[in-house]
Amino acid sequence: MSQKIRVDGQEIVFLEQDKTILNALDRADIESHYHCRDGFCGACRCKLVKGKISYPIEPIAYVSDGDILTCCSLPLTDIELDINNH
């Protein structure tokens, strides 16, 4: 995979070994909120500004339209996130 993730003016590349968007953010030292890393708590919820993601395993936490959980999602296309929106 070589999708790009744009957040807070930075652009990083999602690597296959990242497994989730949250791991890619962590690898790039981009601060984001999280707790469980499994889609249970919803603490990593952020706004998907542009692009498409998928959930290999559907999260248990409620996700409203336009939001994603970074801990259990991966990008299908280049994406842009607003992690300061929540």
- Mean pLDDT, rounded, of the chain: 93
- pTM of the entire predicted model: 0.92
Residue 71 phi/psi, 5-degree rounding, is -70, -20
Burial 15-30 (b: 16+ CB within 10 A, else e): eeebebbbbbbbeeeb
Strand 4-7 to strand 79-82: parallel, antiparallel, or no bridges (unpaired)? parallel
In this prediction, residue 2 has a pLDDT band, given cuts at 50, 70 and 90, of: confident
pLDDT band at 85 (very low <50, low <70, confident <90, very high): low
3-state SS, one letter per residue, for the chain = CCCEEEECCEEEECCHHHCCHHHHHHHCCCCCCCCCCCCCCCCCEEEEEECCEECCCCCCCCCCCCEEEHHHCEECCCEEEECCCC
Q: Would you say residue 84 has pLDDT above 90? A: no
**pLDDT tens-digit profile of 42-59?**
999 999 999 999 999 999
| pLDDT band at residue 63 under the 50/70/90 scheme | very high
